[in-house]
């Protein structure tokens, strides 16, 4: 038994020495190294060239969308989607060039995607909301909206978020799901808007004179539309004033300019006409109590 064991060990040692010959080892390492190196180089080239081609295709698609007159909102959303899909294809092709079986990889990615999808339900909700925004278009790029507790001008609708610039030029990224889950106020959806003002005058002023001044003031501003006609009527007999409601219609783009101008002109015209804009006041009655009473 011992002689047989020794002989087996010697035979195995001879085989190891035969296979680990220095020259053969160098050739084997060189061949394997060159093969791996070529695969790495090929993968890097596929990734670099693929990314360049993906950007080229995305830019061509963007130009094609612009020629068709597609809205900026839909155009940017589709381009972002196309860029993401092409990048995934390039990465899979580069991994395949390394010798990895992409079929098995796709199966693994599918299983991993399911697990990740369950873990990232919020992101998937944002993605679905982004699709709904593009499909139903409650707003588009350039619109001034109020949604999810913020207000501003829409700059871009992305896959997961909507980029809004506030009036004081702050960049706000709002998750699409939060926008779709709440109320959306689109101030730019219609071409015209109504300006609502409350103007108070003193109880001692002549109401017909006040109405005439307000009518002249509204009629003198060319930005105020003739149709629909503005409304100027007494709306309330308040504690300290008689309140007029002034409701002219303007183009949406002129809203704030007319708002600021009209308030300033009301004060100036009232001063010139001798009309009063009262401030809250109280009548205080002092009673003197007689001694012993």
pLDDT for the residue 100: 66
Say if residue 92 is preceded by a cis peptide, omega within 30 of 0. no
Residue 243: beta bridge partners? Answer: 200, 236
Residues 205, 104: Cα–Cα separation, whole Å = 87
- The secondary structure element, H or E, covering residue 232 is strand 231-237
Residue 157, number of CB atoms within 10 A of its CB: 25
pLDDT for the residue 1: 45
Global pTM reads: 0.59
Residue 246: beta bridge partners? Answer: 197, 232
Residue 56, number of CB atoms within 10 A of its CB: 11
Contacts within 8 Å (CB) and 24+ apart, 230-238: 234/207, 235/198, 238/200
Evaluate whether 148 touches 174 at the Cβ level (below 8 Å).
Answer: yes
- The secondary structure element, H or E, covering residue 244 is strand 242-247
pLDDT for the residue 291: 74
pLDDT for the residue 174: 95
Exposed/middle/buried for 262, CB within 10 Å: 0-12, 13-18, 19+? buried
Residues 232, 207: Cα–Cα separation, whole Å = 11
Give me the domains of the chain, ranges plus CATH numbers. 2-119 (1.10.287.1260), 138-186 (2.30.30.60), 192-273 (3.30.70.100)
Q: Which two tokens stand for residue 275?
A: 């009309």
Q: Which two tokens stand for residue 46?
A: 């596929």
HSE (CB half, 13 Å, CA atoms) of 263? 9
pLDDT for the residue 121: 62
Q: Which is nearest to 236 in space by CA: 193, 201, 195, 271?
A: 201
Residue 89, number of CB atoms within 10 A of its CB: 12
Secondary structure (3-state) at 279? coil
The dihedral built from the CA positions of residue 58, 60, 65 and 66, taken in this order, carries a sign that is positive
pLDDT for the residue 103: 65
Q: Which residues are CB-neighbours of 283 under 8 A, at least 6 positions away?
A: none
pLDDT for the residue 270: 95
Evaluate whether 218 touches 259 at the Cβ level (below 8 Å).
Answer: no
- Tens-of-pLDDT digits for all 293 residues of the chain? 445 455 555 555 555 555 555 566 566 667 666 767 777 788 888 888 888 988 888 888 888 878 877 767 777 777 887 888 888 888 878 777 777 666 666 666 666 665 555 555 677 788 888 888 888 889 988 999 999 999 999 998 888 899 999 999 999 999 999 999 999 999 999 999 999 999 999 999 999 999 999 999 999 999 999 999 999 999 999 988 999 999 999 999 999 999 999 999 999 999 999 999 888 767 777 877 777 65
Where would I find the beta strands (DSSP E) of 26-180? 144-147, 150-157, 161-165, 171-175
Evaluate whether 273 touches 216 at the Cβ level (below 8 Å).
Answer: no
């Amino acid at each position: 038994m011992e002689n047989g064991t020794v002989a087996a060990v010697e035979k195995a040692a001879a085989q190891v020495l035969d296979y680990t010959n220095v020259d053969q080892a160098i050739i084997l390492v060189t061949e394997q190294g060159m093969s791996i190196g070529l695969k790495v180089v090929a993968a890097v080239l596929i990734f670099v060239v693929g990314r360049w081609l993906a950007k080229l295709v995305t830019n061509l698609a963007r130009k094609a969308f612009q020629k068709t007159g597609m809205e900026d909102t839909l155009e940017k959303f589709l381009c972002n989607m196309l860029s993401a899909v092409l990048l995934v294809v390039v990465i899979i092709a580069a991994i395949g060039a390394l010798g990895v079986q992409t079929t098995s990889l796709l199966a693994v990615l599918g299983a991993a995607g399911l697990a990740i999808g369950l873990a990232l339900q919020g992101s998937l909700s944002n993605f679905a909301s982004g699709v709904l925004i593009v499909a139903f278009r409650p707003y588009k790029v350039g619109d001034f909206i109020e949604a999810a507790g913020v207000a501003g001008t829409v700059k871009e609708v992305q896959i997961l978020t909507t980029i809004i610039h506030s009036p004081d030029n702050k960049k706000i990224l709002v998750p699409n799901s939060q926008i779709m889950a709440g109320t959306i106020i689109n101030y730019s959806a219609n071409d015209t808007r109504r300006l609502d003002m409350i103007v108070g005058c003193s109880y001692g002023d002549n109401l017909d004179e006040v109405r005439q001044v307000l009518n002249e003031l509204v009629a003198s501003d060319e930005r105020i539309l003739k149709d629909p006609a503005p409304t100027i009527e007494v709306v309330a007999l308040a504690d300290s004033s008689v309140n007029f409601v002034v409701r002219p219609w303007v183009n949406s783009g002129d809203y704030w300019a007319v708002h600021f101008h009209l308030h300033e002109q009301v004060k100036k015209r009232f001063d010139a006409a001798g009309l009063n804009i009262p401030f809250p006041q109280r009548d205080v009655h002092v009673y003197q109590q007689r001694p012993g009473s």
